[in-house]
Structure 1
Amino acid sequence: MAAISKLCFSTRCDGALISTTTKITKGNNDMFKNPVSRRKFLKDAASATAIGTLGSLVANRAYAADTITATEWGGSYIDQIKLIAAKQSDVKINWQLYSGGAALILPKIKATWPNPGIDLVAGWDLSLQAIVREGWAEPVTAEKVPNLADIPKKLLIKDGAGNVINIPRTISSIFWYYREDNAPFEITKIDDLLDPRLAGKVCFPAPNNNSNLQMVGLALHKGGDERNMEPAWDFVKELARSGNIGRVATSDSDITSSISSGETCISFMGGSGAIEIGRAFKIKYLTKMDPESGFRTFLYQEGWCVLKGEHADAAFRFANFAINAENNEEFNRGIFGIPVNLKAKTSDEVRPMVFNNEEMDRYIYIPDWAYVSEQADAWMKRWEQEVVPLL
């Protein structure tokens, strides 16, 4: 069996839920702390060796069918996870979709705890860490989730007592990209966003989307970082005054609509959305640009937490089924992501997001998630006060 040493990425408050018939795309609003540094464990996970043999499909039939309530993102996410769920009959699932980023559900859980009416929560680094702090998660064990044995240990999040609380399913990234057929010139550096030829052609996410990583990247280019954002604010205000921002996006669905319609040609979003757009249009992924260009790629993971409650065992059974090699591969192929199961294969379609170890060091930036999450309210308020009036 051939060893694979590369990594590919996909593409990520009042938590109102919408019906499962509503189709939305994944957003990344995040307003909660993450006390754990992610750079080392994600880099280690990135270089893990993948075994190409698929595991067998397993569904535990020893239980009567149970019903759980699970949250999920819309678009390809809900489509693919429903396909996985249809392959088993052990657990019935009432799907409730996010009306925004995953963190938006957390205030709803807090307000209704210990009876939130939710059993399985989909999330990513920041929202999963918030669940850890609140003590809502049922500890994950090898007995409850046997397929966790095929997941890199570095992806596991632990609470203060050392209990694993997450069930990983995808490694993802966020980056800049543009439609080559709709751009007036080849875009090679972040300062090109100020070029008059891009008048009205920039789709810029507001700080409540992507945890404001778009501005963290600007800060890095201008000599700052997530703790020194002044250079980014100066750049964004100049960009707003230029007239080049044709759309301010508050969700990935805004970006998808704007780029697909031709209203704008360049934006910053999760890899899954960018690759999906790339099926219909000629897309230039700005994922491996010289750091001097200002285009940076950010890395994170997505997965589940099982909340404490009477349906926890059923939630664990479904999650375990969903992350076996075959199902994890199928799910990530459908959302354009990297599977976390070491026995799963990666789709060729996400090759633009493949990084080897050297490229990880050169192109990937993993911020201080705890600090970023603490700034969410302040950044959004400053955006509204200082940038919106200039648009």
Structure 2
Amino acid sequence: MPRQLGDLFLHTTGERACYGPRPRNRPFSKISSSKKVAGDKEVLIWNITAGGARLTSSVSTPGAADVQMVMLRERPCLVIVHARGNEILVTCENSPGHFQELQRMTTTFNPVKVTVVEHMDPSGSTTTFLGVADEGDSHEYMGSFMLWRYDVEEDSFSLLQVISMDDVKWVEMTSHLNDLFLVVVSGAFRGDQQGQVLIYRMDWFDGDGTQALGHYGTAVHSGESDRLTALRANPQFYFVQEAAVEDPVEARFYTLPDGELDLYIIKQDGMVVRFSQKGIHRFWKDGELHAPGKVTLDVWSSWVNGRIVQRLNAGGSSCQDIEKKNFPEEPAVVLEALRRGGVDSQGQPPCPANH
């Protein structure tokens, strides 16, 4: 049996970036990493067992801005964004405790965040997509979001799309039903407002690259036709909407146990704004919660007595003095909300998927 993602716990070492510590109140089966790693440090890889955490391996890197995990050919792999330079490293476990480099990819200037997701396209094929946010340099290089697609036969990622955008700070994808959504957070100014949150949706295009198949609704589920198989080669993200939030820092998609897709955005002042998907592709503001001074966010939920209990872990801390070396340890704040949920045929609340 292949090893599951939850078998590994990941942590990075080194100095913290300006946002300070990033506490996590999540189970050990989840992945955790610091916001930024400076200097020549290692990414440490732990195996979580009933007896506790055991260090199994490490990967030498010039620091790590972000680390994510993904299964490729039934192997656990790490996607590491280097803290210095413009490289993204993909390394996979080829034997227990031993990771070997699979591929290196580059962006234009300064990658800061990576997101990876497995998605089933309209033809029924499952594909792994990898996205990277490159913040660029305001003096010379424009920022961008870059998307790669994994080829199982080649065992490598190939570049699929580049979206130019100033000062890209954050990117996240999620696969929800038949849709693949992407949210991008930019720190650039537009008029007197700082920051943007832009939502994209992937679509598959016809032969001349001009017509989005997704607009035909159920027509894209027309079986294994030659036409649909050929069109699968050119998926692209297109812009859906902008979420009206000023000074955004991070944005996270989350699918509730009842199937509802939400988007959470945490602002520089610690305000968490929640958007819910309404209709086909639009997201509408549903409410706000406040975690003063926090700038990072995790979301999860569970069923309790027939209700969905939703929890938001707000952590980290913002700082004004970027030269400050010693950041104070700040506890994470867990916000909780109760939402009414349904019951199954036996009158019991259904078990939330993947939780």
| TM-score class, shorter | under 0.3
Bigger share in strand: 2
* TM score, norm. by length of structure 1: 0.24
* TM score, norm. by length of structure 2: 0.26
Structure with the greater relative contact order (CA < 8 A, sep ≥ 6): 1 or 2? 1
